Amino acid sequence: MSEVVSVILPVFNQEKEVARSIESILQQSYPYIELIIVNDASEDATLAICEKYSATDNRIIILNNSENKGLPFCLNRGIAAAKGKYIARMDADDISKKERIEKQVKVFKSDPSVDVVGAGMYVYDIDGTFRGVKTPPISQEAMIKNIYKAPPFIHPTVMARKQFFLEVGGYNEFFKRAQDWELWSRTIYDYNFHNIDEPLIEYAMAKGLTLRGVFYHVIVSFLVAYRSRQIIKGFTYAGFSTSIKLIRLLQRKVNEKF
């Protein structure tokens, strides 16, 4: 029997986007899938939409949080419930290309030493305007060299062996933002990472910076710099990127006020 892939889909108040995201997983060319939807106490019709799909497809499992817990909690809860050998990430406002799961599983099959596989993405504005293609570093060496600048993976494209998450203790739930960057910086020297040089999801850009997002960026960027074994470069870059984000956030607040 072929190995099952457990796709973890956290959702929170995403009634407008979640149906397309679910359908993109159910229509994958790789058939051995379970879709674990973790509903983070949505207040709109998100849960009802998810339940409509689960009523007609037994591959869907819905886990409901009694209160809003945040992304890392939802991911860890989904991973704990997963039955698959592999865990795939998915966001409710993104769309997986039909061959995404199949192509990532092939990487694991062809190289048993690989622990985590990511890919590139097609980038769209929130209004649907196409903005281009983004591809992360392919080799482990390039990932290590640049980790103090950015995460080595585009988080919604990630697939990993479940054993990887069990060994490293999953996501740190303190980090409500940038929890993936923290995870990769904690594991990149001990595990084998790989990116497919091809866009496998359609990614909807975030709406913009928030004070909370900048707060976590500051903490994680300096933590990653410390772990990167490039401390001088890392701390310099962390300080620079933090300053830029704070300036952009201030400009946004000023524009909103006037």
3-state secondary structure the chain: CCCCEEEEEEECCCCCCHHHHHHHHHCCCCCCEEEEEEECCCCCCHHHHHHHHHCCCCCEEEEECCCCCCHHHHHHHHHHHCCCCEEEECCCCCEECCCHHHHHHHHHHHCCCCCEEEEEEEEECCCCCEEEEECCCCCHHHHHHHCCCCCCCCHHHCEEEHHHHHHHCCCCCCCCCCHHHHHHHHHCCCCCEEEEEEEEEEEECCCCCCHHHHHHHHHHHHHHHHHCCCHHHHHHHHHHHHHHHHHHHHHHHHHHHC
Could you please state the CATH topology (level 3) that the domain comprising 5-207 is classified under. Spore Coat Polysaccharide Biosynthesis Protein SpsA; Chain A (3.90.550)
Which sequence spans correspond to the domains of the chain? 5-207, 209-258
pLDDT 10s digit of each residue in the chain, 258 long? 479 999 999 999 999 999 999 999 999 999 999 999 999 999 999 999 999 999 999 999 999 999 999 999 999 999 999 999 999 999 999 999 999 999 999 999 999 999 999 999 999 987 889 999 999 999 999 999 999 999 999 999 999 999 999 999 999 999 999 999 999 999 999 999 999 999 999 998 876 668 788 889 889 999 999 999 898 988 898 898 888 888 877 776 666 665
Distance of CA 210 to the CA centre of its chain: 18
Q: What pLDDT shows up at residue 240?
A: 86
User: Would you state the pLDDT for residue 1?
Assistant: 43
CB neighbour class for 257 (10 Å; exposed up to 12, middle 13-18, buried from 19): exposed
